[in-house]
């Protein structure tokens, strides 16, 4: 078993104490460490390639990649250089920079279904814009979504309904993932008022096994939208550029009308985007959406450099290689300890869950102990690989998980 | 009359032609040049202090300041240095950086009503969070807003209703600015279901004269909220730090429960914020709001440097001095040409409108001609001054407006 190095958490604890008085709960949202085992740090200081450091100087192999945005690795030199060069000129100005046109053209060239783009900041901006554009284009209201899917944190979609009114979700209709009959029932019930069907490229809900899309079902969704005029919306915010160099359903040859992007498109710079086809251009032309920082040039220059690097450096293959090495290593370790482990979803976005672990006690022990040993691995949210993950990074993470598996075995026994 | 220098718009026109094919309408949102006279550029390349340059290299004195975010001037050295230093470490990470705690403490120290803060990206994020927190804290639904006020561009508040459902606004109730009776009627009608009253610090709606708040009315709103438990929400996104070093109603001694911030707080870096008092801390603790880039460290480091510079460099006084010099100069020019001009609102956020100009024909001619002469002045949206505006900047803008006034006089005559 790997020994746990001498690690301090004094700086993190001091920061948490200060934060408790000036931030509700000390922190909020998806990066709140209250949702993680106590061994995880709350505050992070820096990153480099596939590694990150917390406020106490502890180093981690980073398989969360900032919950997705870091796709090429922290401080990718070409992205950093492009961002710095643009920043010397201007960022947030009285109008967009020429780089907005360049990026839009690059998106349209890169993503098969895209004839046009609109930029924003949050992934939630992008999914909300897709819904608004679909309603504008169709004149209809109902939006079909998979039950339990995450499409952002605005009142219409946030997973916690506190502070949200019933009317915020009045026109949402739920179906079950990969289930044709539940879609058919929803479509039939709302045939006269169908604006959009919104799905992620695969089922990547928190706390449950991930599930790839059934291509037959995906084609059925496409057909329903062709028949009814509703918008096929692909929420590619989380998966975008980690399944294909293009939109994620290029892998199965099914094109959406609108796609929502965010996270990885600028390697950590704040940028969301909606891509659409000509059928929905008029709808997109009619809505009013904007934001103080939406047209800032630095994230767009970073996105151009990111997309070029994704292509030129065969980044997806690098992410897949790292993910496969990690998956193989974890499977071998789990087997050697006699522990039942389920690894689901694309290897670039793995969900790793323990058998017989409804309260995540195994996952919490294991991920906390892995963190103490220098691997940042979430207990119930999918992970992310990046193109900077080397064999050494994967192997270092596996040394950490080996020690963690041993403790799970000691506490819970073999399955 | 100032002569119009030889100016080209060839690069801008070429960019617009390219944009027309890859962006709906060629551009969207508040920075779309379609809403401006044809003399305005769509694309901007760089800024420095109080000046900006378009894609053709044309220089402008910048009195839009990126529609608000630039409060210290473009490329303020201390803000740039703080952002660059943080960027060397990390920006978007697996958790917030320690700078989030530092910035939260600084906000709480700086803004009187604030006991806690939550960061976001868009101003719309901040106003939406205020509404959600108010509903969570009160268990009520109705939100009172001034008719015609702009509080963002999400479905519940965007000024254009295309693609928006009636349910998105089901619980909005409207009153008239500075009108006690209309508030009283709204409160009485919804007394059992009152979550929040949302107002801007002054009336800064587009296309109409601005109107300062009547302190008696402001105190009435405060009293209503004290009596009913509803949240007094101040939407300080646009005005924040341009009326006070603190929240904008410090000027009249009326404190909100929640305030929404954005635009100027990080001198152009993408950051929104909600500030709240302890009465609403529990409500804030219960909602789920988040975003992929909300906890990025660079904008927070920039915000810390911005707030320090606002204080240390007496930035508000500099903005007021520039704004007063501009207002005095414009008033003298209008009088000398016999043209009726109304200048309303704080001098740091002036609205300048022509008498007898319901279709903005005078304003469009005037602002377009001012743009040709090197001053970026919006025909129907409030302007913004920044601390970098020198006397030379103001005087250069006034030389541009003098030529523009002469053409208005020639076309429309004296009033």
pLDDT, tens digit (0-9, with 9 covering 90-100), for A311-365: 999 999 999 999 999 999 999 999 999 999 999 999 999 999 999 999 999 999 9
DSSP string, B49-71: BTEEEETT--EEEESSGGGTT-S
Percent of chain A residues topping a pLDDT of 90:
98
A358 lies within 8 A of chain B by CB? no
- In this predicted structure, which of A242-246, B40-44, B257-261, B411-415 has the lowest mean pLDDT? B411-415
Please report the pLDDT score of residue B122 as a whole number.
Answer: 98
Give A47-106 pLDDT, tens digit per residue.
999 999 999 999 999 999 999 999 999 999 999 999 999 999 999 999 999 999 999 999
Report the gap between the CA of B215 and the closest CA in chain A (Å).
29
Closest-CA residue of B relative to A127 is B154
Q: According to the model, what pLDDT value does residue A6 have?
A: 73
Q: Could you tell me if B262 lies within 8 Å of chain A, comparing CB atoms?
A: yes
Residue with tokens 């929502």: A260
Q: Within the 231-260 window of chain B, which residues sit less than 8 Å (CB to CB) from chain A?
A: 237
CA-based nearest distance A414→chain B, Å:
32
Question: Is A133's Cβ below 8 Å from some Cβ in B?
Answer: yes
pLDDT in tens, B272-303: 999 999 999 999 999 999 999 999 999 999 99
> How close does chain B come to A227, measured CA to CA in Å?
21
Between chains, do B122 and A89 touch, taking CB under 8 Å as contact?
no
Domain residue ranges in chain A: 77-312, 314-361+390-415
- Please determine, for residue B2, whether its predicted confidence score (pLDDT) is greater than 50: no
What is the average pLDDT score of chain B?
97
CB proximity list for A384: less than 8 A, separation 6 or greater: A63, A64, A65, A67, A68, A70, A71, A242, A348, A349
Give A290's pLDDT tier (boundaries 50, 70, 90): very high
At residue A273, the 3 state secondary structure works out as strand
Q: Whole-angstrom Cα distance, residue B334 to residue B366?
A: 11
Q: Coil, strand or helix: which one is B165?
A: coil
Query: A28 and B155: CB-CB below 8 Å?
Result: no
Indicate the fold that domain A77-312 takes in CATH.
3.40.640
Give pLDDT, residue B6: 73
Q: Is B49 on the interface with A (CB under 8 A)?
A: no
Substitution target in B42, B94, B160, B260 with the highest count of A β-carbons within 10 Å is B94
The answer to whether A165 and B135 are in contact (CB under 8 A) is yes
Q: Model confidence at A414, in pLDDT bands (50, 70, 90)?
A: confident
| 3-state SS assignment for residue A89 | helix
- Is the pLDDT score of A201 beyond 60? yes
Interface contact flag, B45 A90, Cβ < 8 Å: yes
> Whole-prediction pTM value?
0.98
- pLDDT tens profile A359-409: 999 999 999 999 999 999 999 999 999 999 999 999 999 999 999 999 999
**In this model, does residue A2 exceed pLDDT 50?**
no
Average pLDDT over residues B183-198: 97
Taking each continuous run of H as one helix and of E as one strand, the counts in chain A are: 11, 13
**pLDDT range class, residue B415, cuts 50, 70, 90:** confident
The topology (CATH level 3) of B10-72+314-412 is 3.90.1150
pLDDT at A127 over 90: yes
Residue A134 in contact with partner chain B when CB distance is under 8 A: yes
HSE-CB of B337 using CA atoms within 13 angstroms: 24
Q: Assign B4 a pLDDT band (cuts: 50, 70, 90).
A: low
Cβ distance A284 to B153 less than 8 Å, yes or no, reads no
Chain B neighbors of A68, CB-CB under 8 A = 292
ipTM above 0.90, yes or no: yes
Instruction: Say if residue B1's pLDDT is above 80.
Output: no
Report pLDDT digits (tens) over B222-256: 999 999 999 999 999 999 999 999 999 999 999 99
Q: Which residues of A touch B122 (CB under 8 A)?
A: 121-122, 125, 291-294
A165 to B164: CB separation less than 8 angstroms, yes or no: no
DSSP structure class, residue B109: H
- Residue A349 DSSP SS3: coil
Angle at A34 between CA A32 and CA A37, to 5 degrees: 115
A206 and chain B: CB distance < 8 Å anywhere? no
In chain A, the residue whose alpha carbon lies closest to the alpha carbon of B16 is: A101
Average pLDDT score over chain A: 97
Q: Is A153 on the interface with B (CB under 8 A)?
A: yes
Cβ distance A49 to A388 under 8 Å?
A: yes
């Amino acid at each position: 078993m790997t020994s746990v190095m001498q690690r301090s958490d004094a700086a993190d604890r001091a920061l948490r104490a200060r934060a408790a008085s000036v931030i509700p709960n000390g922190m909020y949202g998806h990066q709140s460490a209250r949702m993680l085992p106590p061994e995880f740090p709350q505050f992070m200081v820096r990153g480099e390639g596939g590694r990150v450091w917390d406020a106490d100087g502890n180093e981690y192999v980073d398989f969360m990649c900032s919950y997705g945005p870091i796709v090429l690795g922290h401080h990718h030199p070409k992205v950093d250089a492009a961002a710095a060069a643009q920043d010397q000129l201007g960022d947030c100005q009285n109008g967009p920079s020429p780089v907005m046109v360049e990026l839009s053209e690059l998106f349209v060239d890169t993503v098969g279904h895209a004839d046009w783009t609109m930029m924003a900041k949050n992934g939630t901006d992008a999914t909300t814009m897709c819904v608004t554009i679909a309603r504008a284009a169709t004149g209809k209201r109902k939006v079909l979504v998979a039950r339990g899917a995450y499409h952002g944190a605005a009142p219409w979609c946030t997973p916690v309904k506190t502070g949200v009114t019933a009317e915020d979700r009045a026109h949402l209709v739920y179906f079950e993932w990969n289930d044709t009959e539940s879609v058919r029932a929803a479509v039939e019930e709302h045939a006269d008022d169908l604006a959009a069907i919104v799905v992620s490229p695969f089922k990547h809900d928190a706390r449950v096994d991930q599930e790839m899309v059934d291509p037959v079902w995906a084609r059925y969704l496409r057909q329903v939208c062709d028949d009814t005029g509703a918008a096929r919306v692909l929420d590619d915010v989380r998966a975008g550029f980690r399944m294909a160099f293009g939109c994620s359903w290029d892998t199965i040859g099914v094109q959406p009308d609108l796609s929502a992007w965010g996270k990885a498109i600028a390697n950590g710079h704040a940028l969301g985007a909606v891509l659409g086809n000509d059928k929905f251009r008029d709808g997109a032309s009619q809505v009013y959406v904007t934001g103080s920082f939406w047209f800032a040039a630095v994230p767009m220059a970073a996105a151009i450099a990111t997309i070029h690097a994704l292509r030129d450096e065969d980044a997806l293959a690098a992410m897949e290689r790292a993910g496969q090495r990690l998956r193989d290593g974890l499977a071998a370790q789990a087997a050697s300890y006699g522990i039942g482990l389920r690894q689901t979803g694309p290897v670039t976005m793995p969900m790793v869950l323990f058998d017989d672990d409804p309260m995540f006690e195994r996952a919490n022990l294991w991920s906390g102990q892995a963190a103490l040993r220098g691997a940042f691995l979430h207990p119930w949210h999918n992970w992310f690989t990046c193109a900077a993950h080397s064999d050494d990074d994967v192997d270092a993470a596996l040394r950490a998980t080996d020690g963690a598996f041993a403790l799970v075995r000691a506490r819970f026994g073999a399955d």
